[in-house]
Structure 1
Amino acid sequence: MTVGDPRSGTGAGSPDGLVIGLHERVLERRLQELIDHRADARAVIEAVDEADAPHVLSRHVAGHLASALADAEEDDRVDLVNRILRLLPENPDVVLDGPHQLLSFYPSDAETPSRPTTPLSDVALLTNSPRDPQLGTELKRELASADRVDLLCAFVKWSGIRLLERELAQLRDRGVPLRILTTTYIGATDRKALDRLADEYGAEIRINYETRSTRLHAKAWLFYRETGFDTGYVGSSNLSRAALVDGLEWNVRISRSATPSLVEKFTATFDSYWNAPEFAPYDPQRDATRLDAALREARGGPAGAAAGTSAGDIDTTLLDVRPYPHQQIMLNDLAAERETHDRHRNLLVAATGTGKTVIAALDYARLAGADRRGRGSRPSLLFVVHRAEILKQALHTYRDVLKDGSFGELFVDGHRPTDGTHIFASIQSIGRSAQLQQWARDHFDIIVIDEFHHAEAPSYRRLLDWFEPRELLGLTATPERTDGVDMAAEFFSGRTASELRLWDALEADLLVPFHYFGIADNTDLSSITFQRGSYDTTELSKLYTGNDARTRMIIAALTDTVVDVSTIRALGFCVSIAHAVYMARKFTEVGIVSYAITSETSRADRAELLNRFRAGEIRCLFTVDIFNEGVDIPAVDTVLMLRPTQSATIFLQQLGRGLRRAPDKSVLTVLDFVGHQNAQFRFDLKLRALTGASRRRLQRDVQQGFPFLPAGSQIVLDKVAEEEILSSLKSTLNLSTRDLVRDVANHKPADTSAAEYSLAAYLHEADRGLADIYGGSGPRAFGGQQRARSWSALKDWSFPQARLALGDDEVALLSRMRAFTHIDDNERIDRYRELLDGTLPSDDALAADPYAAMLFYQLRPTAPAGEIADTIRRVRRMPAIASELRDLLEVCEQQARTLPQPLAGLERVPVRSHSRYTREELLAGFGLGTTQQGIAPGNMREGVKWIPAAQTDVLLVTLKKSESDYSPTTLYRDYAISETLFHWESQNATSPESPTGQRYIHHRQQGSHVVLFVRAAKEGDLGTEPYICLGTVDYVQHSGSRPMQIEWKLERAMPAEMLVAARAVA
């Protein structure tokens, strides 16, 4: 390579050829010498991640080899290549003289199809320039030799189909599958084109009918070939004549030979879209009316404005209502609260516009299904809300979900129920004392109260006090109110059954994206009184109210951030009424017409101000009373956070006021003004609520500019705000042992002794998690002592008078306590408790107990199985270990949200689907180390294990192979295609012909099982991440060899949160 070659990283402009700037070069001896001789620069050198090393090293060797071949004599090139190949351990075949390439291999009597102009192994950028082949011509040639075709195209036009008719007909005649994904976005697709593709050319078509918004603007083809020489095009060309022939379009040609990771990502993404509920199968005979209505609506016309069709002619009760992943997570949480914890008064918290009513309806459908199986009828239902329009929408939603157009009766605005079994009532209609007393207290099996934050009102109180339903479900976007009432604490024993994860709703495109700006406001809050997570509001009000310098800075920041301050619809959240009035006055003085709406504003004035705000006469409303429903206006496009908020719940409530979709609103702008905070203030709570980032990743995300937010959303911090936030994160997320000891002591209730002080009590009072106790690496040090990271160590140091003496065995075992932090099923928790507390069976019985083996290998991963009984007996005599485990199991029990089930065909194995396990625990559960002798679970490092005693292949999958944040070469080896399909890549040595490959393919016929365990990453906040058991799987199909790519079908649909983590697309 010559100086200036980008592969060398050298340039003529530097004294020694080593250029200042970003590099990505394998460290060689000469390069190290160059670095060592440069005292004027600093090099950042990192080890290549193990998962990325094959790609990085092969790329490095390829660069040198290409240079050497270019410099070699023509006759020497093949010899040079063969000398290198002979050095490889697999001893590949030699290259023959020439060199020559095989270009095709077809039956003697078959015509060889034309080849694309671009070689199958090459990449190219096609721009429809005179020097480039036309995209349309290339597509025709690609179609001629494809064995399968996938097309992802936002718009499909008749003019584009006409150009490819002959090739499409040949594709059909050869029996080649053609799959097409498209949309109704802006009404640009021609139904005639889709009908022709389906009817004439046998294409399978799926359509995204979402017309409010769509993020699918992609245009891409992939041509699969049995030879492995797959090719594709990704770019700007829709399926239209202009795009394929003479438009100024750019399209990148990819190939499996040159860009395998891109082809793998294409395949994974397309399959995920294809199996997503948002894409509905299209049959021209069945779905033409629906498609026409959607296209007309997308073009701006009424959905039913043609050919005597009305929107009402489309019976929506015939369409399946399927939950989005975030809704399924909440449904699973609800089921776990009832079935695992026996809780039947539950609260769901989710932002307005994210489908709370759909969740309630789907929940009712599940309960109704269980009731019908048990007693033959649907359970009685009362759905209560205070606004008639919401009530009618709710009734319509329940009918759609249940596919029953006659379900339910209204009790509002003159409507009176006649049957009285399934009632949708306004609180005004049913909440009067005289009305309530007409119903038996247990008349309704299920009561759902929407907008539950109104429950403190007398009418709701009367209703809740009167009825005694089997299930009570509250729905709200605002669980904490400014009047001090906490809905969960007041009505639901302090527990929220499920709370929407903001990023999930954004990924589902249910809310507008946000652009969040963190701006330093130069105020010093460090001396303001800070107690129990909040600042003193009186002191804050004095600091902010009348602070003209801060207000000028706020107005300047707003003006700089939004496109046009004269068109905004903004909400500003203030610390006090005086602060809100002051801000409204100051904004109005500079021409931004603003008012304050507070608890002192009369109802009439509030209604007038809101109407003027909607009409655009008022540009900004300042408020303290953020839970007032009247402030919930979809048109809000700007949110000003003018006071510090640590509570993630309140922060999301404020944010949620602007996240609702509205016409001509593409993004919510959020300005959060950051001061110098009290040392105890925790930025991590709201940042994790905003981003979904783990504790471990949060600091890195702040430094790197939050690279993995949902599509369209951004977080921008100015330099001072970033430094303030990073400083806070470092002190609050990485608490020193000294600070943590002090925190433990400060939060102990006065009426609780040190011995009785439980881990669960501390975590609840201090708003901390298990990662605060067990996270981090290495032992803790305090007062000259070193101890393993454990609750008992923190208690001993916080309360020396209650300290327990520890033996050497106890010290060693305490280092294993974090291995129990993941346990999430009651059966395992109960069995571990029995082993710690109950009457132990004989040594032989203990040795044969699979739960005893699982507990044992959690404590001693590499020990021989013969020590199981002795170890468990000794642990019971160790107060520190037994007490720690009991405390941990109590926390695990409280946090459990799974619905575990026995494995199909393996009911005697104590491993349950959807539960989490360490590697040692799950392998012990299948008998490794006991019934399957020869290796202890802690000594097994491979990702696959055949266990003959259980006739089971255990597959252990880590989705994120590399520790780097993004590794495109390893991301798409293992992924979820849908909730019941999983794409898995075998070990490199496995071929379809090998005994292992044959067992995978024919496991059902041979009577063996395959069980799949998946985790997102190797490491998490608590160290090594556990695996989630996805259960038994069945072979569907495979491709490739050494490694094999296998598609498995899950016996039980994977948990929704795992689907979100494992699928190839958002």
Structure 2
Amino acid sequence: MHWAKLLEDRRVTRAKQPLVPGLYESLVDADLDQLLADLDAAGVKVDARELAKLDDDQALTVLLRYLNRLLGELLQAKPAVRLQRTQAVLVALDRSQIPEPARALLAVADARGPALAAPFPEPPQIPLGQSDLLINASRDINIHRALESEIASADRVDLIIAFVRRSGVKLISSALRTHVERRGRTSKTLRVITSTYLGVSEPEAIEQLVELGAMVRVGYDPRMVKLHAKAWIFHRNSGASTAYVGSSNLSRSAMVDGCEWNVRLAALESPGVVKKLADSFDVLWEDSDFQRYDAARFTSIRARERKRFDGGAAEPDFAGLDIQLYPFQAEILERLQVERDVHGRHANLVVAATGTGKTVIAAFDYKRLRERLRADQREPTLLFVAHREELLRKARATFRAILREPEFGELLVGGEQPSEGRFVFASIQSLRGRLEKLVADEFAVVIVDEFHHAEAPSYRRLLDRLQPVYLLGLTATPERSDGGDVLRWFGDRIAAEIRLWDALTRELLCPFHYFGVADSVDLSGLKWARGGYDRGQLESVFDGNDARELLVRRAIREYVPNPERMKALGFCVGIRHAHYMARRFCEAGIPARAVTGELAPDERARAIAALTRGELRVLFCVDVFNEGVDIPEVDTLLLLRPTESATLFLQQLGRGLRRSDGKDGTTVLDFIGNGHSKFRFDRRYRALLAGRGGSLIKQIEQGFPHLPPGCAIRLESQATKFVLDNVKRALANHRQVAIDELSELARGRTPKLGEFLEAMEWELGDLYRRRSADWTWTGLRAAADLCPAGDADFEELGRAIGKLTHVQDELRTNSWITWLASERPPRLRELGPAERRLLMMLLALVWVNRLNEFPTLSAAAAKFWRQSELRRELVELLELRRAGRDHSDLPLTARPDIPLRVHARYHVTEILAACGVIQAGNFATQQSGVRYVAGERVILNLVTINKDPDRYSPGTRYRDFAISPERFHSESPNSYSPDTAAGRRLLDHAASGVEVLLFVRETPKTPEGFTTSYVFLGPTKLREHAGAKPIALTWTLEHEIPAWFYPHTQLTSS
């Protein structure tokens, strides 16, 4: 047959072509298998994995590409014979031509490479054969990280870019330097085309590219060359070339956190497009409009170009009153409501960074409180206190706008006095002489802005005098540098705060670029006392250490985008160290000053002002700027002392993350050396990562890929070794440290779980990070000889205790605590249908599939109730969860027989038990998808937003997402279509009286590798649908997605 002969010809041609070193993504057919055997015989390493071990999308792509190429070759014929050949192929598909097990070739080693080097370069984060769109979404990789991963395996790199900035070059300089060193400085290793258009490109940035080994050509005439193109081409000799075309220039903002769209193209998938890009680049490279880079010529033309635009109008300022709530503000209001309604706490502190709209939050909160007070027949009088007149005027304007009352509120500040005194915006200074006239309950609502001043005498007298129904404190920095404790006014509790990670994700703070610089100082032999280094010894090591000070300045030149314009804080060990660093920097021509506790307040203020004006480059400080001080202009942090405390580390980091005009990010230089065996690096990184991204060791090894938009952590190779060795050592001793701490707590008393967690600086998730009976409160207590060791059932049941850390709603916590505190399980005859299911939900969580061993619910409960210590642990765990509840939930009013609360979290076993699917002797499970429960006439729609967070997969990334708080898009299982019974049931659910209940989770696994619980979003109704196998579905939700969960369900970052 013609097709068979064609195949034979293809084999012969293919066999003559040797495999060059590089990355591949090719199916291993019989021909390629022979070539690999030849390489193996020659001692060349290859990476050819079984398809079953690849990501499902990648394996499918490999197979489809192979068949597509094969069919393309067969059909390269006259139209008359194409149909005949197609028929022949369909018949021939019955015979196997693929060696089994099927494999995909991923890489061939370079036999000429260094013997001790890794045999294969790391593949790009996006699979070689797939195209994609990068939009800097919250669950996306940004263009910067994607480019870095491409450079590592490229043989040649071409870049055409409109604007080149130093901030962008610094991001990828390390990757480009390695590329040039590996491939050699040739005329094509690294080529760059740019222009002087608009005078935006910086000559220093281009000089750095040249220094790295780039060949640069420039369009010097802005009248002829208005270069807007932005593209990267990564040539690979293996044929697996890739390219990026989009909107990102070479600047930090464009590459990490800007609103940018960039398309990634793969030659394996779109060879014609990638070739056209490469050809177009070559044409421009040879065009006379683009000439070799000349520094003097470039600088002259750029200066002239910039001057043309300097006279233009400044960008208009659109700042104004914002009376619409952002999701994070709505979340804070929700938490305030839970604090008052659930916990009965009416004195509440809100912690949020300046610029996040604290006054807007306060005004909306007062609007809600006013309605509540009026319903209780109480006049909603208000006192709003601040320390400056302009703050009071802005606050009153905000309240007027939100309350829609243009005459609301009176001022008590300066020369103004209220005539009615019912709704007063007052300065603390104006209240001083009037405190004795105020009745304790004169104001129903008291709001104090910048509450960290509350320990000052004037504020303290005011708060001691007044007894409002509701007290609301607002602050960006709850800690005071003088040690005052403002939390005492709020029962030592923060009601709501925007945590660092959330503030960065929502772009309320500046993104940071953290560089772990390998320190030359060895601290392993220093004295360790009272949980830390001996401070005197530590200062002796750093004070006068010229080599280390030189290392600091070298790191600044290497990593800070604009060293000559930086505004930095340097955190030192002690006063001598701070003065030494300031003196050495001044001697090196870098204006600096030491600012310590011995400095008078007015001198300190002058030093800060000099830094903000740019007269000083660095303030070296000792503790002074850890807390309570706000300098938005700071754009560089130098961590010059080892900091183990997670709180102190985050406070220091927070000093540089305030937004300021012209500031697009903060550079953090952390100097990491070989530390004492008891020093803990893991605490700072766990606090920074806030439990995201999986195992800490894995995060470190992968370069911290799961960070908020625009942020990056880069550890130098030696620093990585120091950190990894330290973290691995700490994890190996983790349990023994916990047991020792517990033994200390238990001297003469019986410690509670909450006390232990506080002493260890742990969250619940830290204790239950492993599914093991040893890693339970009972297991640790038994190891410390505080309770009896468990039996065989305890060993199995203990592994399940951590599954209950998601439970927080009142229905489960109240019922389960009451039952578990009793020595006997609840009598089933005294329980209603919903309560029996609630008990089954608990038992399904702890027994899991062993539930099949019990003939009745009573038998399963009776055996579990014998585990008295485990029951005690669950009571303490649930009490902590109930006390820490920060979200509200709603009843499933239409189905009182199903004990689920809307907006609460549930594991699949609980959902199935609540709907009667799981019963004693009949355990069932399901991880995701759609399930019809016929007896209940409900469809359970279980959705996972990010199917595989550990592997970037364009094919499955964006199938399920929230369109708005009221609408959600999901896809049915692949087998569903409008013609199938299951598909029809889904589409006709409303007409047939079937309820569709939506459950959503962000990822399938927690950072520790455990199954993630779902958030129950309540009943939904189908709004529209399209397609088949799968069906695209748009749902209308009965209840809006809560503000705390909505950002996790969106397609792009909020």
Indicate whether the TM-score tops 0.5: yes
**1:885 Cα deviation (Å)?**
1.7
**1:986 Cα deviation (Å)?**
0.5
363-372 or 411-420, which deviates more: 363-372
Provide the residue aligned with 1:70 in structure 2. 73
1:814 maps to 2:798: yes
Give 3-state SS (helix, strand or coil) of 1:896's partner: coil
Tell me the amino acid that sits aligned with residue 571 of structure 1. Answer: L
Provide the residue aligned with 2:117 in structure 1. none
Question: Does the CA-based 8 Å contact 1:382-1:422 persist in structure 2?
Answer: yes
**Out of 341, 345, 348, which is 1:346 matched to?**
348
Question: Does the CA-based 8 Å contact 1:610-1:630 persist in structure 2?
Answer: no
**1:235 Cα deviation (Å)?**
4.2
Provide the residue aligned with 2:889 in structure 1. 900
Tell me the amino acid that sits aligned with residue 368 of structure 2. Answer: R
Q: Structure 1 residues 34, 818: closer, same or farther in 2, change over 3 A?
A: farther
Tell me the amino acid that sits aligned with residue 979 of structure 1. Answer: P
Tell me the amino acid that sits aligned with residue 750 of structure 1. Answer: R
The 5-angstrom pairing of residues 923-938 of structure 1 reads 923-930=912-919, 936-938=922-924
In 2, distance between residues paired with 1:534 and 1:947?
A: 58
1:684 maps to 2:665: no
In 2, distance between residues paired with 1:365 and 1:70?
A: 71
Tell me the amino acid that sits aligned with residue 766 of structure 2. Answer: D
The 5-angstrom pairing of residues 389-538 of structure 1 reads 389-430=390-431, 432=432, 434-488=433-487, 490-528=488-526, 535-538=533-536
**1:593 Cα deviation (Å)?**
1.3
**1:716 Cα deviation (Å)?**
1.9
**1:254 Cα deviation (Å)?**
9.6
In 1, distance between residues paired with 2:498 and 2:653?
A: 13
1024-1033 or 337-346, which deviates more: 337-346
Tell me the amino acid that sits aligned with residue 444 of structure 1. Answer: F
In 1, distance between residues paired with 2:864 and 2:37?
A: 56
In 1, distance between residues paired with 2:347 and 2:15?
A: 68
**1:831 Cα deviation (Å)?**
0.7
Provide the residue aligned with 2:90 in structure 1. 82
Provide the residue aligned with 1:886 in structure 2. 875
Provide the residue aligned with 1:182 in structure 2. none
Provide the residue aligned with 2:760 in structure 1. 766
Question: Does the CA-based 8 Å contact 2:966-2:1041 persist in structure 1?
Answer: yes
**1:721 Cα deviation (Å)?**
1.7
Question: Does the CA-based 8 Å contact 1:699-1:726 persist in structure 2?
Answer: yes
Question: Does the CA-based 8 Å contact 1:571-1:639 persist in structure 2?
Answer: yes
Give 3-state SS (helix, strand or coil) of 2:1045's partner: helix
Question: Does the CA-based 8 Å contact 2:510-2:658 persist in structure 1?
Answer: yes
Q: Structure 1 residues 956, 978: closer, same or farther in 2, change over 3 A?
A: same
Question: Does the CA-based 8 Å contact 1:855-1:921 persist in structure 2?
Answer: yes
Q: Structure 1 residues 454, 1018: closer, same or farther in 2, change over 3 A?
A: same
Q: Structure 1 residues 45, 481: closer, same or farther in 2, change over 3 A?
A: farther
Tell me the amino acid that sits aligned with residue 346 of structure 2. Answer: H
Structure 1 stretches of 5 or more lacking a match?
89-121, 126-185, 187-216, 221-232, 239-248, 260-295, 305-310, 780-786
Provide the residue aligned with 1:804 in structure 2. 788
Q: Structure 1 residues 994, 732: closer, same or farther in 2, change over 3 A?
A: same
Tell me the amino acid that sits aligned with residue 446 of structure 1. Answer: V
Give 3-state SS (helix, strand or coil) of 1:575's partner: coil
The 5-angstrom pairing of residues 575-654 of structure 1 reads 575-627=573-625, 632-654=630-652
**Out of 1030, 1034, 1047, which is 1:1043 matched to?**
1030
Tell me the amino acid that sits aligned with residue 857 of structure 1. Answer: A
Provide the residue aligned with 1:919 in structure 2. 908
In 2, distance between residues paired with 1:237 and 1:723?
A: 34
Question: Does the CA-based 8 Å contact 1:333-1:498 persist in structure 2?
Answer: yes
Question: Does the CA-based 8 Å contact 1:847-1:853 persist in structure 2?
Answer: no
**1:485 Cα deviation (Å)?**
4.0
**Out of 716, 719, 733, which is 1:718 matched to?**
716
1:829 maps to 2:823: no
1:41 maps to 2:41: no
Structure 2 stretches of 5 or more lacking a match?
1-5, 97-129, 134-197, 199-227, 232-243, 250-259, 271-308
1:385 maps to 2:386: yes
Q: Structure 1 residues 362, 469: closer, same or farther in 2, change over 3 A?
A: same
**Out of 956, 979, 982, which is 1:970 matched to?**
956
In 1, distance between residues paired with 2:1051 and 2:381?
A: 41
413-422 or 976-985, which deviates more: 413-422
Provide the residue aligned with 1:702 in structure 2. 700
User: Normalised by the size of structure 1, how large is the TM-score?
Assistant: 0.72
Q: Structure 1 residues 298, 1042: closer, same or farther in 2, change over 3 A?
A: farther
1:944 maps to 2:943: no
**1:86 Cα deviation (Å)?**
8.4
The 5-angstrom pairing of residues 58-207 of structure 1 reads 58-71=61-74, 74=77, 75=81, 76-83=84-91
Give 3-state SS (helix, strand or coil) of 2:898's partner: coil
**1:461 Cα deviation (Å)?**
1.5
Q: Structure 1 residues 2, 561: closer, same or farther in 2, change over 3 A?
A: farther
509-518 or 733-742, which deviates more: 733-742
Question: Does the CA-based 8 Å contact 2:649-2:684 persist in structure 1?
Answer: yes
Q: Structure 1 residues 628, 554: closer, same or farther in 2, change over 3 A?
A: closer
Provide the residue aligned with 2:976 in structure 1. 990
Question: Does the CA-based 8 Å contact 1:520-1:675 persist in structure 2?
Answer: yes
Give 3-state SS (helix, strand or coil) of 1:393's partner: helix
Question: Does the CA-based 8 Å contact 2:842-2:910 persist in structure 1?
Answer: yes
Provide the residue aligned with 1:750 in structure 2. 747
Give 3-state SS (helix, strand or coil) of 1:858's partner: helix
Provide the residue aligned with 2:324 in structure 1. 321
**1:533 Cα deviation (Å)?**
6.1
Q: Structure 1 residues 742, 860: closer, same or farther in 2, change over 3 A?
A: same
Q: Structure 1 residues 854, 563: closer, same or farther in 2, change over 3 A?
A: closer
Give 3-state SS (helix, strand or coil) of 1:676's partner: coil
Question: Does the CA-based 8 Å contact 2:572-2:620 persist in structure 1?
Answer: yes
Provide the residue aligned with 2:1039 in structure 1. 1052
**1:58 Cα deviation (Å)?**
4.3
Question: Does the CA-based 8 Å contact 2:640-2:670 persist in structure 1?
Answer: yes
Tell me the amino acid that sits aligned with residue 644 of structure 1. Answer: P
Provide the residue aligned with 1:1032 in structure 2. 1019
Question: Does the CA-based 8 Å contact 2:825-2:861 persist in structure 1?
Answer: no
Tell me the amino acid that sits aligned with residue 651 of structure 1. Answer: F
Provide the residue aligned with 1:909 in structure 2. 898
Please give the per-residue CA displacement for 1:801-856, whole angstroms capped at 9, x wherever unaligned. x4425443333322321222211112201111222234755444459422111112
User: Normalised by the size of structure 2, how large is the TM-score?
Assistant: 0.73
Q: Structure 1 residues 610, 821: closer, same or farther in 2, change over 3 A?
A: closer
Q: Structure 1 residues 298, 673: closer, same or farther in 2, change over 3 A?
A: farther
In 1, distance between residues paired with 2:900 and 2:498?
A: 29
Q: Structure 1 residues 806, 483: closer, same or farther in 2, change over 3 A?
A: same
Tell me the amino acid that sits aligned with residue 901 of structure 1. Answer: L
In 1, distance between residues paired with 2:653 and 2:312?
A: 31
Tell me the amino acid that sits aligned with residue 800 of structure 2. Answer: R
In 2, distance between residues paired with 1:619 and 1:805?
A: 60
In 2, distance between residues paired with 1:337 and 1:123?
A: 48
Give 3-state SS (helix, strand or coil) of 2:990's partner: helix
In 1, distance between residues paired with 2:1011 and 2:503?
A: 29
Q: CA RMSD in A?
A: 4.1
Question: Does the CA-based 8 Å contact 1:837-1:876 persist in structure 2?
Answer: no
Number of residue equivalences: 845
**1:321 Cα deviation (Å)?**
1.5
